[in-house]
């Protein structure tokens, strides 16, 4: 970020956009000169908006510092933002000719309107039980303390993060943490690093609390380098899914790992409405990564954040059941031998014999059959990995090989 722009942080500014004029306090500047303002007022309608609002650089026509009499500083900020707009003209042109539209802010507004039409409020009655109670924790009064206390009392929780530019120096904006009874959505943008110092770090580093995470690499990287947090005792559902695939195919590994959405489709029977919501959220985040800076965040998006955290816990249970399937089968074979086998068969078993029982040796035959079946049903790439099928988010679409 240019040092000249840093001088405007925390000051009142006026933004002239292609779609209106707004006034507010400059809260944050993203790479690419997207601006975040709080205490925002629409100068055309006179209406004020609570929370934080993001303004995309492509929309910014002029920036003026209202509480800074130095005209040179005004010009510096304007020049910097104008430069950013110039760099993004190519992006605007592409959007205007077949993209999302020439106006990113209008595009985002249309996307949110469409997404809200799929809100959890429109769930069919038979799926009413899929509603999830969640709490948005965006301040330290009242909600933060009880939420952390509840998390500290758990043996297992799920952890999901949402943000922009997932890397050591990226922006972690939302941290979702769920228990069997409740989901907490921590607004890290508003709470800041103090949220971790006031209790979340202790939860994330607690060796006695199992954290269920899907692909823990990026969030672990971000938490460590940005907040000094060392994640401990993690069950990674992406790793578990790959190992389960290997078991089911007799030892083969897939050519790629699955996203959280794909794992949920593969291992859990979640309602089609939830699938659609998560698919829409994924598309919106790809097209407008800065959507997570919006404050207040639309309720429909908050519900999806809660759903992802909620479903991680049953996903772990499902994967654990898959891991234990062979073990359970052999134990049942042991019981059948002892309960229904002939006395001659049981009498031939020496109490101290270490020879591998036939019930366990049968696992090798099972693995061989699985491997032969996998070779028939999947293609193998040049690295000897099975080409994994894409799990469609739409239940009505057949699965297709990911090679087209």
Domain that holds residue 361: 104-404
Residue where one domain finishes, among candidates 51, 68, 102: 102
Residues 87 and 138 in one domain: no
pLDDT mean over 242-256? 92
The CATH number given to whatever domain includes residue 299 is 3.30.420.10
Residues 79 and 109 in one domain: no
| 90-99, 221-230, 238-247, 305-314: segment of lowest average pLDDT | 90-99
d(CA 225, CA 193): 12
Please tell me the predicted confidence (pLDDT) of residue 112: 57
pLDDT mean over 279-293? 73
Residues 265 and 154 in one domain: yes
Residue 168 has pLDDT above 80, yes or no: no
Residues 281 and 218 in one domain: yes
For residue 379, the number of C-alpha atoms closer than 13 Å in the C-beta half-sphere is: 9
Residue 316 binned pLDDT confidence (cut-offs 50, 70, 90): very high
Residues 147 and 95 in one domain: no
Residues 43 and 132 in one domain: no
Q: Which residue has the tokens 């996307």?
A: 111
Residues 163 and 32 in one domain: no
DSSP β-ladder status, 12-17 and 20-29: antiparallel
| 89-98, 167-176, 261-270: segment of lowest average pLDDT | 89-98
Is 121 or 55 the better-scoring residue by pLDDT?
55
Residues 121 and 42 in one domain: no
Q: Say what percent of the chain tops pLDDT 70.
A: 71
pLDDT mean over 337-357? 63
Residue where one domain finishes, among candidates 46, 78, 102: 102
Residue 167 binned pLDDT confidence (cut-offs 50, 70, 90): low
Helix, strand, coil percent content, the chain, rounded in steps of 5? 50, 20, 30
**Average model confidence (pLDDT) for the chain?**
78
Is 345 or 279 the better-scoring residue by pLDDT?
279
Nearest to 77 by CA among 12, 4, 3: 4
Residue 291 binned pLDDT confidence (cut-offs 50, 70, 90): confident
Please tell me the predicted confidence (pLDDT) of residue 68: 55
Helix (H) or strand (E) holding 212: strand 210-213
For residue 263, the number of C-alpha atoms closer than 13 Å in the C-beta half-sphere is: 28
Radius of gyration of the chain from its Cα atoms, rounded to whole angstroms: 27
d(CA 68, CA 70): 6
Please tell me the predicted confidence (pLDDT) of residue 126: 43
Residue 232 binned pLDDT confidence (cut-offs 50, 70, 90): very high
The model's pTM is: 0.69
Q: 10 Å Cβ neighbour count for 377?
A: 10
Q: How many domains is the chain partitioned into structurally?
A: 2
pLDDT in tens, 53-63: 778 777 788 88
pLDDT mean over 138-163? 95
Residue 282 has pLDDT above 90, yes or no: no
pLDDT in tens, 80-113: 444 544 444 444 443 333 333 333 444 555 555 5
The CATH number given to whatever domain includes residue 45 is 2.30.30.100
Is 181 or 400 the better-scoring residue by pLDDT?
181
Residue 248 has pLDDT above 70, yes or no: yes
Q: 10 Å Cβ neighbour count for 39?
A: 15
Residues 19 and 135 in one domain: no
Token readout for 370 is 């699985």
Q: Which residue has the tokens 């919501």?
A: 277
DSSP β-ladder status, 134-137 and 183-187: parallel
pLDDT mean over 39-50? 83
d(CA 96, CA 258): 34
Please tell me the predicted confidence (pLDDT) of residue 106: 43
Token readout for 32 is 């690419």
Residue 351 binned pLDDT confidence (cut-offs 50, 70, 90): low
DSSP β-ladder status, 48-55 and 35-42: antiparallel
Residue where one domain finishes, among candidates 68, 102, 136: 102
pLDDT mean over 311-335? 91
Residue 311 has pLDDT above 90, yes or no: yes
Residues 167 and 222 in one domain: yes
Residues 13 and 122 in one domain: no
Residues 91 and 118 in one domain: no
Please tell me the predicted confidence (pLDDT) of residue 6: 65
Please tell me the predicted confidence (pLDDT) of residue 354: 73
């Amino acid at each position: 970020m240019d040092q000249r722009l840093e001088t405007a942080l925390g000051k009142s500014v006026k933004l002239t956009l292609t779609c209106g004029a707004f006034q507010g306090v400059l809260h944050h500047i993203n790479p690419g000169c997207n601006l975040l303002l709080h205490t925002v007022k629409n100068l055309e309608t006179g209406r004020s908006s609570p929370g934080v609002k993001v303004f995309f650089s492509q929309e910014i026509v002029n920036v003026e510092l209202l509480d800074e009499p130095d005209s040179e500083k005004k010009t510096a900020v304007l020049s910097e933002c104008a430069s950013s707009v110039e760099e993004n003209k190519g992006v605007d042109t592409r959007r205007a000719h077949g993209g999302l539209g020439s106006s990113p802010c209008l595009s985002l507004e249309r996307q949110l309107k469409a997404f809200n039409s799929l809100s959890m409020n429109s769930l069919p009655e038979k799926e009413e039980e899929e509603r999830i109670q969640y709490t948005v924790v965006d301040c330290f009064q009242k909600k933060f303390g009880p939420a952390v206390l509840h998390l500290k009392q758990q043996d297992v929780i799920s952890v999901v993060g949402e943000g922009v530019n997932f890397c050591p120096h990226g922006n972690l904006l939302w941290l979702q943490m769920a228990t069997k009874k409740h989901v907490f959505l921590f607004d890290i943008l508003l709470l800041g690093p103090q949220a971790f110092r006031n209790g979340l770090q202790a939860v994330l580093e607690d060796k006695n609390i199992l954290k269920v995470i899907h692909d823990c690499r990026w969030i672990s990287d971000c938490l460590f380098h940005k907040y000094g947090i060392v994640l401990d005792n993690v069950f990674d559902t992406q790793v578990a899914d790959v190992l389960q695939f290997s078991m089911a195919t007799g030892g083969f590994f897939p050519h790629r790992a699955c996203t959280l959405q794909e794992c949920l489709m593969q291992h859990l029977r979640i309602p089609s409405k939830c699938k659609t919501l998560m698919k829409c959220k994924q598309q919106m985040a790809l097209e407008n990564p800065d959507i997570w800076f919006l404050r207040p965040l639309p309720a429909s998006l908050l519900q999806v954040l809660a759903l992802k955290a909620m479903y991680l816990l049953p996903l772990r249970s499902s994967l654990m059941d898959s891991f234990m399937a062979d073990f359970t089968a052999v134990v049942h074979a042991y019981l059948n031998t002892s309960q229904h086998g002939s006395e001659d068969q049981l009498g031939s078993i020496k109490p101290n014999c270490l020879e591998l029982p036939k019930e366990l040796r049968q696992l090798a035959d099972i693995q061989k059959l699985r491997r032969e079946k996998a070779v028939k049903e999947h293609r193998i790439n040049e690295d000897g990995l099975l080409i994994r099928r894409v799990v469609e988010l739409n239940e009505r679409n057949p699965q297709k090989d990911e090679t087209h």
